[in-house]
Chain A
Amino acid sequence: MRHRDELVSLVRLDDVTKSVTLADDSTLEILRGISLEVSSGDHVSIVGRSGSGKSTLLNILGMLDAPTTGTVAFEGAEVGRMRSGRLDRLRGNNVGFVFQQFNLLPGRTALDNVMMPLGHAKGRLFWNRRQIAADMLERVGLGHRVEQIADRLSGGEQQRVAIARALVRRPVLILADEPTGALDIDTGASVMGLLDEVATETDAALVTITHDLHVAARARRHYRLDAGRLETADLSRAFEASTLAASVPSSLSAATTGAEEASS
């Protein structure tokens, strides 16, 4: 087990830029000169407006996308040099994703969905995948919904299935992209509570991308992404200006809410 006071670097971005060529041959810079280090057990939030490059950054953190320049290292190994098969396995072993639109496999049961990542594992994880997945669903409070078709569950339940799926292989890095974006405030709060809890339990690093300050406030380190540049954010002022303090869970009592201003 890794301890919080001796943080080990999990993902390290050095001077990463990402640009794409548009149809008219012009270049669009999405990310500029981003350096970020995420260590195990870390809770990081990144806020930013739509189109500020949050998802691209998360893709690069999750090794789904490669930067145009700069380097990405996972546990010290440079990702850019790995062959795609090895990268896929590395991602499968170490990274769990939670998406805004849940992205559950349609038509499959909750259990099938949670089993899916284990189907790409080896050994005990593969052979016991049904039991492990069932235990994980139990852990997120869906033990009674195991055989339900995933897309017929409520939004909150679907996101809990997605969380169970993201965590079932005990990843060291959890990447959540607007995890509460499709949920109402209360459901979102309880889902975030669960995500925080399970991440802390397994000592996994949690990187959350959001434009919801309530969600952002749960992290220990806060960043703001603006026009492709990453800056440390001080959210306290935003919270002070908020009028929704009451709906923020007690753990955030230090920070008053300010969702309105930040998310606009």
Chain B
Amino acid sequence: MTGILGALADAWAEIRVHRLRVLLSLIGIAVSVAALTAVFAFSEYQRQYQTEQSDRSGGRAATLVVSEMNIDGSPVDVDAFDERVTAASERFAFSHTARVVQGLAVPVALSDGIVDVYARLYDPVYPQIHREQLLDGRWFTDSDVEALAPPAIITEALWDRIGRVPLAQHPTLALAGPAGGTYQVVGVTPRQTYMDESLGVDLLFDAYRSRVDALPEGAQVQFEVWVPQGMVEEIAPVLAMDLRAGLPEGQTITVNRSDWAAQPGNLNAMATFEMVVGGIAAVILALGALSLINIQLVAMRQRVREIGVRRAFGATSGRVFVSVLLESLVATTVAGMIGIAIVIAILRSDWVVTSMFSGIQDVPPFPMRAAVIGLIASVAVGAVAGFIPALVALRVKVIDAIRF
């Protein structure tokens, strides 16, 4: 007990006395530990960012897409399909089910005439499944279905075209065509990627459906169901079987996963990124360790006498070994913690993360995994860098060292 405490005290005193030497050798360690920690933190943020991006297109994990088609290619009876899936959804007690129609074009009256605008129809729960985000206003609610002036959510590009009227002033959108009428703009989706530059409008599925006799030809209705990720493997086949039961001849229903987690390629790419950048950081760390060993070995030549004196006053060789080892260990651990602290301080400021990953919604807390890896790396480097000088110290012969 006193032996270890004593060795620790010796090591700390040694570090304090040779502040400059220690400081110089540790800058490299601190920087490389910081790099290593940052890599893993970035990879965590990157994962979150990618997840969010792919959630926008494919839905959160796990999203099942249910679609129907006729084998001969003729249009599907949308209402029958709707009925069938809605019934099944109730039986399965799904919490999040949304109907989606993409790829519609609706004519909108703008200042320069009627313009075809890309439209999506969906149920209020859709943005939740896709983690979509708003620039301003609100999403649809269930009560919007009854509104006399049905609500619309427009893209920022379209908002610009209608003069960016503040939503508090209740801007409206005049639609022509079968579902024509005045729609109240209740929300605006932001430009996040280059895909968001097009004019677009989101409408409530039911509000639109009640205004037209039939959906335009070519428009395909899909159901999206958000189910727990752990249960998706069980649910999907049962749901498919349930829906296919009693289907008229010539029709088929497919149930697919559309979320990112169903595609292992993404995770592999992530792991590759981590390995490459982590490998570079590890090389930097190894270089830092080499320079630390170098400095410690040179310092050891000057310290031979000191070690001899300590041995003369009762320090066992084990004690000398541990003291020298701990010097590096304590020093690199402190340096590593400083490096980690700097990375945390930088990444804790929201500005850095949000500007590096523009459009990220849920900034994850600083990943503990990154900090732990950084700390383990700095301790390991200290142990390795301290071991060789400690072996040298072990071989110091007291009489040679003192030279009366």
A, B bound: yes
A108 part of interface (Cβ distance < 8 Å): yes
| Residues of chain A from 91 to 143 with CB closer than 8 A to chain B in the complex | 91-93, 95-97, 99-100, 103, 105-108, 112, 116-117, 119-123, 126-127
A88 part of interface (Cβ distance < 8 Å): yes
Residues of A within 8 A of B10 (CB): 119
The answer to whether A59 touches B317 (Cβ under 8 A) is no
The total of chain A residues at the interface (CB under 8 A) is 39
The answer to whether B404 touches A91 (Cβ under 8 A) is no
The answer to whether A91 touches B312 (Cβ under 8 A) is yes
A42 part of interface (Cβ distance < 8 Å): no
* Nearest CB of chain A from residue B138's CB, rounded to whole Å: 68
* Nearest CB of chain A from residue B395's CB, rounded to whole Å: 12
| Chain B interface main SS type | helix
The answer to whether B6 touches A120 (Cβ under 8 A) is yes
The residue from A96, A99, A120, A123 contacting B404, defined by CB atoms under 8 A apart: A99
Residues of A within 8 A of B306 (CB): 105-106
Residues of A within 8 A of B313 (CB): 91-92, 96-97, 116-117, 120, 165
The answer to whether A88 touches B317 (Cβ under 8 A) is yes
Residues of A within 8 A of B334 (CB): none
The answer to whether B17 touches A84 (Cβ under 8 A) is no
The residue from B18, B305, B315 contacting A120, defined by CB atoms under 8 A apart: B315
The residue from B9, B309, B316 contacting A84, defined by CB atoms under 8 A apart: B316
Given contacts A64-B398, A126-B6, 12 further A-B contacts (CB under 8 A): A64-B311, A65-B398, A65-B399, A85-B316, A97-B312, A99-B402, A105-B306, A107-B17, A116-B310, A120-B310, A121-B2, A126-B2
Question: Which residues from chain A sit less than 8 Å from chain B, CB to CB?
Answer: 54-55, 58-59, 62, 64-65, 84-85, 88-89, 91-93, 95-97, 99-100, 103, 105-108, 112, 116-117, 119-123, 126-127, 165, 169, 177-178, 209
24 A-B pairs with CB atoms under 8 Å apart are: A64-B311, A64-B399, A64-B402, A84-B316, A85-B316, A88-B315, A92-B313, A93-B314, A97-B312, A99-B309, A103-B305, A105-B306, A105-B309, A108-B13, A112-B13, A116-B309, A116-B313, A117-B313, A117-B314, A119-B6, A120-B315, A126-B2, A126-B6, A169-B314
The 10 closest A-B pairs by CB, nearest first: A92-B314, A55-B404, A117-B313, A107-B17, A120-B314, A88-B316, A119-B6, A126-B2, A177-B404, A85-B316
